[in-house]
Structure 1
Amino acid sequence: MGVLYYGGGGVPIRIGDRALAHLKVVIATKLRRGESFTLSWTHPEDEPRGRSTLWLHPSIPLRFEFEDAEPEKLSRTWLEELANSAHSTGGIVLIPEQVEPDAGPPED
């Protein structure tokens, strides 16, 4: 399980390594362009029910921490879905990866 730390308070936000790796790419792209946006997700089952949203801004510290030392293979499809939501008025919404039954391993 990966962890996202945002802002000076450093409150850990637990997100699976695979999802966090995909979010990292999309978030870094938006922040590198100087864009601010929101990130929303549904709380994991081991936390109280609900959902959360962060306002991400290039000037606020952000750190991605992964449990696994090896980088994840990224799915181009999932990256595109997350990037498309990043460009919407609702911001990035962390959606589950859609894996097709006969798709095989994730794309590079």
Structure 2
Amino acid sequence: MGQLYYGDANEPITIEDRTLAHLKVVLATKLRRNESFTLSWQHPEGEQPGRSTLWLHPSIPLRFVFDDPVTPALSQQWLNELAASANSSGGIRLTEEHIEAVDETAGDKTPEDLQLA
């Protein structure tokens, strides 16, 4: 499990490494463009029931910590879905990857190979 630290919060948000790797690409793209937006997710099992939303702004510190030292191959389709939600009025809604919908002939790509609109 990876951790996302936002602002001066002492407690990180725990997110599975593969999900966090995809999220990192989308968040970095939006923040590099100086865009503010929200990020929402449902609390995982074992935590207090409910959901949370963060307001992300380029001036607030953000740190990603991964358990796995190797960057996973990333799904262009999942990145596109997350980026599209980031551009909506509701912001990014963190959802699970739709593995069955991935084009097997295209394969996963490294972060350097990916393009976001």
Q: Judge same fold: TM > 0.5, yes or no.
A: yes
Q: What is the CA-CA distance between 1:9 and the residue it aligns to?
A: 2.4
Distance in 2, Cα, partners of 1:86 & 1:102: 20
Following superposition of structure 1 onto structure 2, how do residues 47-66 of structure 1 map, counting pairs within 5 Å? 47-66=47-66
Residue segments in structure 2 that go unaligned for 5+ positions in a row: 110-117
Deviations 1:13-69 (A, max 9, x none): 000000000000000000000000000001111101111000000000000000000
Match of 1:32 in 2: 32
| TM-score, normalised with respect to structure 2 | 0.87
Distance in 2, Cα, partners of 1:74 & 1:101: 14
Residues 35, 97 of structure 1: CA spacing in aligned structure 2 closer, same or farther, 3 A cutoff?
Answer: same
Task: Count residues with an aligned counterpart.
Answer: 108
Distance in 2, Cα, partners of 1:102 & 1:62: 29
SS in 2 for 1:100: helix
Distance in 2, Cα, partners of 1:49 & 1:92: 20
Residues 102, 40 of structure 1: CA spacing in aligned structure 2 closer, same or farther, 3 A cutoff?
Answer: closer
Match of 1:100 in 2: 100
Residues 101, 62 of structure 1: CA spacing in aligned structure 2 closer, same or farther, 3 A cutoff?
Answer: closer
Q: CA RMSD in A?
A: 1.7
Runs of 4+ in 1 over 2 A off after TM superposition: 101-106
| TM-score, normalised with respect to structure 1 | 0.94
Identity percentage of aligned residues: 63
